[in-house]
Chain A
Amino acid sequence: MKALRRKHDDALVRRLISGAYIDPLTNLFNRTSFAEAVAVGLMRAAAAGRLAAVLHLDIDGFSRINQALGTGAGNRLLVEIGDRLRRTATPADLVARGGGDEFFVFLGDAADLGELQRRIDRFREALRQSVPFDGHELSVSVSLGSAVFPEDGASADGLINAASTALDVCRRLGAGQALRYAASFGVQARRALELAQRLRRAAIADEFALVFEPLVDCQTGNAVGAEALLRWCPEPGLSVGPADFIPVAEQSGLIVPIGRWVLDEACRWLARWRAMGADALRVAVNVSARQLHGGDFVETVIEAAARHEVPLSQLIIELTETAVLEDVALARHTMERLVAHGAALAIDDFGTGNATLATLQDLPASILKIDRRFIAKALADKRSRQLLEASVAIAHILELSTVAEGIETPNQLALVRHIGCDVAQGFLFTRSLPGAAFERLYVTPSPTGDAAHHGGEIGTHPGRRRRGHDLAAHAASAC
């Protein structure tokens, strides 16, 4: 009887300890026990003359995953992330859940910064693999802030706070970033905030403009359309490219109104060029993941086209691999609705992310845009070239037309022509131009009903494509 009671008391004490120090969902250390363990880990690191680090991670867009798939699914994802971190940890490391979608890792017993970096890379790599989820693959993006002992903080709290500050800066920069703490972060964080405030004003004050980069038929040299690119001109003579402000716009949610403006402005130019007789010219518009998954994206596109009386068949929606991979099922659903209305889908920056052609096959895409780095590499070494050739060949089998991005030299053009890319764009042809300049150079009336004669056709592989002639069949003008 006494033995039985003792056993019961034992179980109770174990439950109490677990409740106090262990996160019940993931069975990892919680925030409290983690801070205590870091304090111990730092004392041991100091005594042994070793380096240590704290990583603070969070899952990008987790609330959206929760909303879309439900809390149960969100919890399963948290458990999976926790397991991956635990499997990647060495015996000297400690993984903890910080609450919500945040995790901490303590890296102990490192010889030097290089070793710490390699270990951090392993954690990032483990999280980069997509998660099988109810029959489809869920791609997870994680932001990571790190702080190194003793350089970035000498106490447990100091080090954890430094890692959290680094994470905070990551979040402002956009999804999927990893940064080590730096004393200058206070300044950087302030700059990001200022940029967001200026962007907000810009959205009201009409400081945005579109420029157009011609899409050129590789065989005929004729322009068959244009990619619309966003520029921000906060003051006269100063033009800021998207790479510098889109991450901040995405983070602050401004991307939605800005994206709406881009679609409207692209349709406005299209309407103008249609009125000039170029009624087959196509304009490609870049769309971010946040816009795509924003709920009323399809309606926004349809309304913009209707407002300017432009057929959707003149619009190409460009999505990056990363945007698609964030939620393939949702991307497919959204794009199928737009394609049903006549718009074309292009996959942008192919070759930079983890997208496989098999994933892309599930999407209603008709155009594959090959990233400039992929092409630059193909000129430099044989293996990359073979890989590029194979990708183009497979794209054609999948009835995708191919666009080579970032063509800057005649050699690059010769290469992409040789391997069968349909369309090219880049500085070799012309730098991106304001609408009026593009119009002077490239917009001429297309003969009614026979546009292809005027502009040339991409069809270097007759009969191969059903959908693959999107950029070519209605060419607007010659270069």
Chain B
Amino acid sequence: MILQLMRRALVSAGHDVIAVSDGDTALAQLEAAPVDLVITDIVMPGREGIELILEIRRRFAALPVIAVSGGQLPGGQDILDMAHRLGAIRALAKPFRPRQLVDMVEICLA
């Protein structure tokens, strides 16, 4: 649902978007065809977002990642702060407006 909303907002702003539903598919997609930017949730089934960010850094060092998530880990660690420290260049807390996402993407691609 959120994935579709994000996709629609970005396509409306003129971007090409490949939407996938988990981390492993995302990595396979990146291997198959280069992209300019990755947007990922952190809390997702299978390969979670932190691991995806670390893997992207290892395999595609220069590829920017935006983390979209929210809340804390059980010990109180802020999940977006963690994503930022581990490689996401921007972090966007849920809930957000589609416009915020589009603005952030454009800043990252500028």
Binding site for B on A (CB under 8 A): 9-10, 13-18, 20-22, 24, 27, 29, 33, 36-37, 39-41, 94
Of A16, A24, A27, A37, the residue contacting B86 (CB under 8 A) is A37
Decide: B75 and A21 in contact? CB cutoff 8 A: no
Residues of chain B with a CB closer than 8 A to A13's CB: 43-45, 48
Decide: B85 and A27 in contact? CB cutoff 8 A: no
Q: Which of B42-71 contact A (CB under 8 A)?
A: 42-45, 48, 50-51, 54, 57, 71
A92 to chain B, nearest CB (A): 10
Decide: B43 and A40 in contact? CB cutoff 8 A: no
Decide: B86 and A17 in contact? CB cutoff 8 A: no
Further 9 A-B residue pairs, CB within 8 A, beyond A14-B71, A36-B86: A13-B48, A14-B43, A14-B73, A14-B79, A18-B77, A20-B51, A21-B82, A22-B75, A39-B57
Residues of chain A with a CB closer than 8 A to B45's CB: 9, 13
Decide: A17 and B79 in contact? CB cutoff 8 A: yes
**A29 to B83 Cα, complex, angstroms:** 12
**Is B74 in the interface zone, CB < 8 Å from A?**
yes
Decide: B75 and A16 in contact? CB cutoff 8 A: no
Residues of chain B with a CB closer than 8 A to A40's CB: 57, 85-87
Of A10, A27, A41, the residue contacting B75 (CB under 8 A) is A27
**A20 to B82 Cα, complex, angstroms:** 12
Binding site for A on B (CB under 8 A): 42-45, 48, 50-51, 54, 57, 71-77, 79, 82, 85-87
Decide: B86 and A18 in contact? CB cutoff 8 A: no
Of A9, A20, A37, the residue contacting B85 (CB under 8 A) is A37
Residues of chain B with a CB closer than 8 A to A41's CB: 85
Closest 5 CB pairs of A and B: A27-B75, A18-B73, A37-B85, A13-B43, A40-B87
**A94 to B78 Cα, complex, angstroms:** 13
Which of chain B's residues has its CB closest to A34's CB? B85
Some 18 contacts from A to B, beta carbons below 8 A apart, are: A9-B45, A10-B43, A14-B72, A14-B74, A14-B79, A15-B73, A16-B48, A17-B43, A17-B48, A17-B73, A17-B82, A18-B73, A18-B75, A18-B77, A20-B51, A22-B77, A27-B75, A40-B86
Residues of chain A with a CB closer than 8 A to B79's CB: 14, 17
Decide: A33 and B75 in contact? CB cutoff 8 A: no
**A27 to B81 Cα, complex, angstroms:** 14
Residues of chain A with a CB closer than 8 A to B71's CB: 14
Residues of chain B with a CB closer than 8 A to A27's CB: 75-77
Residues of chain A with a CB closer than 8 A to B43's CB: 10, 13-14, 17
A82 to chain B, nearest CB (A): 11
Which of chain A's residues has its CB closest to B45's CB? A9
Residues of chain A with a CB closer than 8 A to B82's CB: 17, 21, 33
Residues of chain B with a CB closer than 8 A to A37's CB: 85-86
Which of chain A's residues has its CB closest to B62's CB? A43
Which of chain B's residues has its CB closest to A10's CB? B43
Residues of chain A with a CB closer than 8 A to B44's CB: 13
Of B54, B74, B87, the residue contacting A18 (CB under 8 A) is B74
Residues of chain B with a CB closer than 8 A to A24's CB: 75
**A11 to B72 Cα, complex, angstroms:** 10
Which of chain A's residues has its CB closest to B61's CB? A43
**A29 to B73 Cα, complex, angstroms:** 12
Which of chain B's residues has its CB closest to A40's CB? B87
Decide: A36 and B75 in contact? CB cutoff 8 A: no
Residues of chain A with a CB closer than 8 A to B87's CB: 36, 40
Residues of chain B with a CB closer than 8 A to A29's CB: 85
Residues of chain A with a CB closer than 8 A to B51's CB: 20
Which of chain B's residues has its CB closest to A16's CB? B48
Decide: B77 and A94 in contact? CB cutoff 8 A: no
**A15 to B73 Cα, complex, angstroms:** 7
**A17 to B50 Cα, complex, angstroms:** 8
**A24 to B76 Cα, complex, angstroms:** 11
Central interface residue in B48, B82, B85, by most chain A CB within 10 Å: B85
B50 to chain A, nearest CB (A): 6
A54 to chain B, nearest CB (A): 14
Residues of chain B with a CB closer than 8 A to A36's CB: 54, 57, 86-87
**A108 to B33 Cα, complex, angstroms:** 34
Residues of chain A with a CB closer than 8 A to B85's CB: 29, 37, 40-41, 94
Central interface residue in A17, A18, A20, A27, by most chain B CB within 10 Å: A17
Decide: A15 and B74 in contact? CB cutoff 8 A: yes
**A40 to B82 Cα, complex, angstroms:** 12
A171 to chain B, nearest CB (A): 29
Decide: B50 and A21 in contact? CB cutoff 8 A: yes
Of A17, A20, A33, the residue contacting B42 (CB under 8 A) is A17
